Amino acid sequence: MAILPILRYPHQALLAECDPVREITADVERLVQDMIETMHAAPGVGLAANQIGVRLKLAVVDLTAGESKGEIFVLVNPRILENSGRYVEDEGCLSLPGFTERVVRPDRCIIEAADLHGKVRKLEGVGLMARAFNHEIDHLHGHLFIEHLSALKRRLIKKKVQKRIRAGDWDLIPA
C-alpha cells in the first residue's frame, strides 16, 4: 500500500473523461487499496482515480474519512441513474485544498456501480452520500465542483490558484 500524491487543479488528468475499467486485475485491486489509503491520509471522504493520475472510472467513498471500519464504497464504472431533490452545503475537493464553497447538489441519488468482484449493484445516496457520489462521478467525467459555482466565483478561484502557481505555492503534483 502507498499514499500517493493527489494532483491539483488544473492538472490535465483532472480535466479529461476517464476510461471504463475493463477488468478487475491485481493492478486495479492494488490501485484501490492505494486510493483508500491516500483518501484516509488526506483525510478526505472521497477520491477518484484521476486525482492520482490514473484515468480509469474508479472512485472510493468513505464518509467517515477512515474513522470507522466497514464504511468504504468502492465504485467501479459508476454512473448516475437518478438524481432528485436539492440541497446546499459547503463542499471542497482534495484537488483544490483550501477552497470550500456552497454547492447545490441533489439530496438523493441512485447510482449503479460494480464492486471489486465485478458485481454490478444499485446504491442509494441521501444527503452527504448523494453529494459524495455526484462529486466523485463528476471527477470521472473530468469535472470539478467549481463548475457548479457561478461564473464569477469560479473565475475568482481560478485567479487565486494562478496566483499561487506563480508564487510557487501550488504544485500540480505535490511532493
Active site members: 136
Looking only at the bridges linking them, the beta strands covering 108-114 and 73-84 are antiparallel
CB of 3 to Ni ion, least distance (A): 17
Q: What gap in Å lies between CA 139 and CA 162, rounded to an integer?
A: 21
Interaction residues for Ni ion, span 87-146 (CB under 5 A): 93
CB of 118 to Ni ion, least distance (A): 25
Q: What gap in Å lies between CA 96 and CA 146, rounded to an integer?
A: 9
The backbone region for 34, taken as left when phi is positive above 0, alpha when psi lies in -120 to 50, beta otherwise, is alpha
| Grid cell at residue 63 | 464518509
* 18 sits near Ni ion (criterion: CB under 5 A): no
Please, is 109 exposed, middle or buried when counting C-beta atoms within 10 Å of its C-beta (0-12, 13-18, 19+)?
Answer: buried
Task: Closer to Ni ion by CB, 49 or 76: give it.
Answer: 49
* 28 sits near Ni ion (criterion: CB under 5 A): no
φ/ψ (deg, to 5) at 168: 75, 25
Task: Closer to Ni ion by CB, 93 or 157: give it.
Answer: 93
* 149 sits near Ni ion (criterion: CB under 5 A): no
Task: Closer to Ni ion by CB, 28 or 99: give it.
Answer: 99
Give the interface segment with Ni ion, choosing from 7-15, 77-85, 86-94, 109-117 (CB under 5 A). Answer: 86-94
Q: What gap in Å lies between CA 29 and CA 169, rounded to an integer?
A: 34
Task: Closer to Ni ion by CB, 28 or 93: give it.
Answer: 93
**Which residue is closest to Ni ion by CB?**
93
- Residues in the site for Ni ion, rule: CB under 5 A? 93
